[in-house]
Chain A
Amino acid sequence: MFEAIAFYLFAFLTIAMFFITVTTSQALYALTALAAGMIFISAFFFILGAEFLGAVQIVVYSGAVMALYAFGMMFFDTTREVKEKHGNKYIVVGLSTIAALLVVVIFAAPIVSENITALYPMVEGAGNTQEVGMVLFTKYLIPFEVAAVMLLVAMIAGIVLAGKKMDLSLTLYHTAEIDEMTKGQDKKVLS
């Protein structure tokens, strides 16, 4: 009963927030609606008994990713209205419906065959976090380490791309002036 009420409430809220995200013409509204939708999605994880995943969703998405977007938006001119493509609406809606149905088929195909057995069944008497730890550090140890290396690569790439020349406001110069400014210095500063 309460599960049904929670499910429908959060489903409505999530769909409404993401609908605002894709339809609004203000970038700030899109950012705040997306952050709210991320938090509402973590409610589904808590309903489904995946507490660790829900906590990670809140910490990573609404903590790290949204903060990163918020800081990134300081570089862009977000106060003006966003221009949008005005293509054929029926083609867009039709294509997205077909693609979404394909996703359902992909997820439902193993279920139809009715011979699913759990590879890593839930352990009795252990919390969700403990189960996740046991599976993550035995079977999925190598993907875990590779994901860590990939995060390191992403961090270095972010620093190299965005961190140079922060003291100069390069948006106020023309490209020729920037080229002249950096002629004597390291050539790779701006690239």
Chain B
Amino acid sequence: MTNTLHRQGVKENLKNDYVIFAHTAKGKNREGSAPKIRQFMEICLKYNPVNMGDVKQGNMIQDDIDVKKLIANQGDGAGAAAVFTDLDTLEQVVEELVEADLGLCINVSGLLEGVRECCRKAGLERHSAEHSLGFWGARDRLPEREVLEFNTLCGHGMVSFNLIRKMIEYVRLRRVTPQKAARTLAKCCECGVFNPARAEMLFERMMKRGYLATEKRTDE
């Protein structure tokens, strides 16, 4: 349950960030799960996720990934994830998954109260949930807060701090657009839980408010 648990940010930008996962457990529901995982991905795809993928093949933003093949090549137990940017869409996805009754373990990462409401609208009461209590210990070894907001968009920490700093610098110099920078970072996250729409928004916020140490503190 820890993957994507520690996504950093404030409510204002976290409200555009929901990751839905399908998992299986060995000896419980993994065997014969391939067609169910394919169906999970097809349902997600209908609602235009901003990212989708699995750990074994990669994500749909990567240049060599064809989304149809990504779905067709699912095997037993690979698991999959898709990212959505609003609760209304997530609610429709959850409703359709409930109806499909796939028997896969479905988790959602995002603002807990929003997800709880979403479940209720779909006729469910959530089963269990996990909170982050933040980072403890030698926090001086962590990078800037803004870098962590990008880095924690990947649940396995696959987007390096230095690549993030480089993209921030490129956006500052207008060498790449926020959209291109966000997609570059998203390609590093193999399993497809990186939210390029939120990353783009974070770059745009920097363009307005300043970059890293130069951020202007305003009421915006």
Please indicate whether A and B come from the same complex rather than being unrelated chains. Answer: no
A interface with B by C-beta (< 8 Å): none
B interface with A by C-beta (< 8 Å): none
